[in-house]
Chains A and B, each alone.
Chain A
Amino acid sequence: MWSRTAVVLAAILMLTGSLAGAQVRGTISGPGQTAFPIGIAVPAGDGAVGEAFAAALGRDLQLSGLFSVLRAPATGGPADRGVEAEQLDLAGWTALGARWVVTLAVTRDGSGAVGVEARLIDAADGQRVGGKRYEGRRDEIARMGDRFADHVLFLLTGERGPFDSEIAFISTRGGRFKEIWVSPARGEGARPLTHNRSIHLTPRWSPDASRILFTSFLQGHPWVYEIDVRSLKIRRVMGGRGMAMGATFSPDGSAIALAREVGSGDSEIVILHPGSRATDVVSTEKTLDVSPSWSPDGRRLAFCSGRAGTPQIFIADLAAGTVRRLTLQGGYNTEPAWSPSGDRIAYTGRVGGSFQIFVQEIEGNRVHQVTSTGGDNTSPAWSPDGRYLAFSSRRSGRDEVWISDWHGWRQTRLIEGGAGDTSPAWSGWLE
Chain B
Amino acid sequence: MSIGVTGSRGCGAGSRFWLLGVCGAVLCLTIAGCAARKGAGTEGGLGESDLSGTTRGSSLDQWRNGSVGSEDSGPLETIHFDYDSYALSSEARSVLESNVEWLRANPSARAEVEGHCDDRGTIEYNLALGAKRANAARDYLVALGIEASRLTTISYGKELPACRDQTPECWARNRRDRFVVMD
Asked if A274 CB lies within 8 Å of chain B CBs, one says: yes
Known A265-B132, A378-B122, A379-B122: A236·B43 in contact at CB below 8 Å: no
Contacting pair B155 A243 (CB below 8 A): yes
Asked if B104 CB lies within 8 Å of chain A CBs, one says: no
Contacting pair A288 B125 (CB below 8 A): yes
Residues on the B chain within 8 Å of A243, using CB: 127, 131, 154-155
Q: Kindly provide the distance from the CB of A372 to the nearest chain B CB, expressed in whole angstroms.
A: 17
Contacting pair A290 B131 (CB below 8 A): no
Contacting pair A197 B27 (CB below 8 A): no
Contact with B along A201-212 (1 / 0, CB 8 A): 110000000110
Total count of chain A residues near the partner, CB < 8 A:
62
Across the interface, A220 reaches (CB within 8 A) one of B38, B43, B44, B55, namely B55
Across the interface, B84 reaches (CB within 8 A) one of A259, A289, A332, namely A332
Q: How many angstroms between the C-alpha atoms of A69 and B42 in the bound complex?
A: 39
Q: Kindly provide the distance from the CB of A88 to the nearest chain B CB, expressed in whole angstroms.
A: 45
Residues on the B chain within 8 Å of A222, using CB: 127, 154-157
Contacting pair B30 A265 (CB below 8 A): no
Across the interface, A259 reaches (CB within 8 A) one of B64, B86, B124, B133, namely B124
Asked if A221 CB lies within 8 Å of chain B CBs, one says: yes
Known A196-B42, A234-B29: A202·B123 in contact at CB below 8 Å: yes
Known A264-B135, A265-B135: A245·B42 in contact at CB below 8 Å: no
Asked if B103 CB lies within 8 Å of chain A CBs, one says: no
Asked if B129 CB lies within 8 Å of chain A CBs, one says: yes
Asked if B88 CB lies within 8 Å of chain A CBs, one says: no
Residue of B38, B58, B155 with highest tally of chain A CB at under 10 A: B155
Asked if A317 CB lies within 8 Å of chain B CBs, one says: no
Chain A residue nearest to B10 in the complex (CB): A275
Q: Kindly provide the distance from the CB of B11 to the nearest chain A CB, expressed in whole angstroms.
A: 10
Contacting pair B124 A219 (CB below 8 A): no
Asked if B45 CB lies within 8 Å of chain A CBs, one says: yes
Q: Kindly provide the distance from the CB of A301 to the nearest chain B CB, expressed in whole angstroms.
A: 14
Across the interface, A310 reaches (CB within 8 A) one of B27, B84, B131, namely B84
Chain A residue nearest to B11 in the complex (CB): A235
Q: Which B residues from 116 to 160 make CB contacts under 8 A with A?
A: 120-125, 127-129, 131-136, 139, 153-157, 159
Of the A-B pairs whose beta carbons lie under 8 Å apart in the complex, a sample of 13, sorted by A's number, is: A194-B42, A198-B48, A201-B127, A217-B159, A220-B55, A231-B14, A233-B14, A235-B27, A265-B86, A265-B136, A288-B132, A306-B125, A422-B123
Known: A199-B60, A265-B132, A423-B123. 10 other contacts (CB 8 A): A218-B46, A222-B154, A222-B157, A232-B42, A235-B13, A245-B124, A259-B124, A266-B131, A274-B9, A348-B122
